[in-house]
């Protein structure tokens, strides 16, 4: 799942300009589903941190993740008026671009903060027999 999210975010960034802008839009739509699966897969951790709030040792990571999610949500929502051609107001494009770039930066912070977990997924520990 983390690899899928990383590839999708990278593809979103690469396809943001040029004649294949439709690809950028469709990757964004697919990314909504991938993000939803990622959240469902981590629902137990989210609930655990949320219930304990500041008492949980990973509360700061939870705040980072929530901020990341909010920025991605604004990016997705601001992309729809552009994609569906509901509005050509420059404000939509500006909000979409700024939150898109912020999302990419926050994604790398998110990956860095979760590097221990990611290493465990990539290189599982040898089982003791």
**How is the chain split into domains, by residue range?**
2-122
Residue 124, pLDDT score: 65
Residue 121, pLDDT score: 75
Say if pTM beats, i.e. exceeds, 0.75: no
Taking CA atoms, 10 is separated from 7, 26, 28, 42, 43, in Å, by 5, 14, 11, 22, 25
For 84, residues 6+ apart whose C-beta sits below 8 A from its C-beta are none
Of 17-21, 58-62, 93-97, 106-110, where does mean pLDDT reach its minimum? 17-21
Q: Convert the pLDDT of each residue in 62-72 to its tens digit.
A: 889 999 999 99
Residue 87, pLDDT score: 84
Residue 18, pLDDT score: 57
Q: Convert the pLDDT of each residue in 11-63 to its tens digit.
A: 766 666 655 667 777 888 888 888 899 899 889 988 998 888 888 888 888 88
Taking CA atoms, 39 is separated from 42, 82, 97, in Å, by 5, 26, 24
């Amino acid at each position: 799942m983390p690899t899928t999210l990383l590839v999708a975010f990278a593809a979103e960034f690469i396809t943001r300009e040029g004649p294949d802008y439709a690809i950028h839009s469709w990757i964004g739509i697919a990314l909504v589903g991938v993000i939803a699966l990622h959240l469902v897969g981590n629902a137990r951790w989210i609930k655990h941190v949320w219930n304990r709030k500041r008492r949980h040792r990973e509360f700061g990571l939870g705040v980072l993740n929530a901020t990341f999610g909010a920025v991605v949500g604004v990016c997705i929502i601001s992309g729809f008026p552009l994609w569906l051609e509901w509005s050509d107001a420059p404000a939509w494009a500006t909000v979409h671009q700024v939150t898109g770039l912020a999302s990419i930066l926050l994604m790398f912070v998110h990956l860095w903060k979760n590097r221990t977990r990611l290493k465990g997924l990539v290189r599982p520990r040898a089982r003791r027999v």
